[in-house]
């Protein structure tokens, strides 16, 4: 679906992206078991390939991606941004921030549902006490 959507959005897609499904999305965070940790590992897991491992041109080595080769280049670099509160802009911190945002984007109503659950538990416990 994602690769078809990419081609429909752009009638002349970047040739490097043809056949590659974009991996980072709010839906991939929800669709995979332990999705938040997967997305964090994927964002922060770029390394040089081990000896003997060949990676095709246009792909990047990331052991957390199935097959170890991903079309998305490394996006997070230490010091790439400046936080207003002085938090060090490490790759891990930015990865955590991206994962938090994607979690919210996938389920913006989650906080409201959790609050509703707490209210129901409180009301049910009051009803049981009577």
Phi and psi angles of residue 70, each rounded to the nearest 5 degrees, phi first: -130, 145
Please write the tens of the pLDDT for every residue from 44-98.
Answer: 999 999 999 999 999 999 998 888 899 989 999 999 999 999 999 999 999 999 9
Q: Long-range contacts of range 14-23, CB-CB < 8 Å, 24 or more positions apart? A: 16/58, 16/71, 17/71, 20/71, 22/72, 23/65, 23/70, 23/72
Q: Judge if pTM exceeds 0.85.
A: no
* Residues 2-129, CATH architecture: Orthogonal Bundle (1.10)
pLDDT 10s digits, 99-114: 989 888 887 787 888 8
Query: Is there a contact between 18 and 4 (Cβ–Cβ < 8 Å)?
Result: no
Q: Any idea where the domains of the chain sit in the sequence? A: 2-129
Enumerate the known binding-site residues for heme c.
72
Annotated binding-site positions:
72
Residue 69: beta bridge partners?
61
pLDDT in tens, 5-32: 444 444 444 545 555 545 555 445 555 5
Q: How far is CA 4 from the centre of its chain?
A: 20
């Amino acid at each position: 679906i994602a690769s078809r959507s990419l081609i429909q959005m752009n009638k002349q897609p970047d040739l490097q992206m043809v056949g590659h499904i974009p991996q980072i999305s709010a839906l991939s965070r929800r669709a995979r078991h332990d999705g938040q940790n997967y997305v964090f590992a994927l964002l922060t897991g770029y390394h040089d390939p081990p000896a003997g491992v060949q990676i095709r041109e246009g792909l990047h080595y990331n052991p957390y991606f199935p097959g170890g080769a991903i079309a998305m280049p490394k996006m997070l670099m230490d010091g790439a941004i400046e936080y207003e509160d002085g938090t060090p802009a490490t790759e891990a911190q930015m990865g955590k921030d991206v994962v938090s945002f994607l979690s919210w984007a996938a389920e913006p109503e989650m906080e409201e549902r959790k609050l509703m659950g707490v209210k129901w538990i409180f009301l049910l416990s009051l009803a049981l006490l009577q």
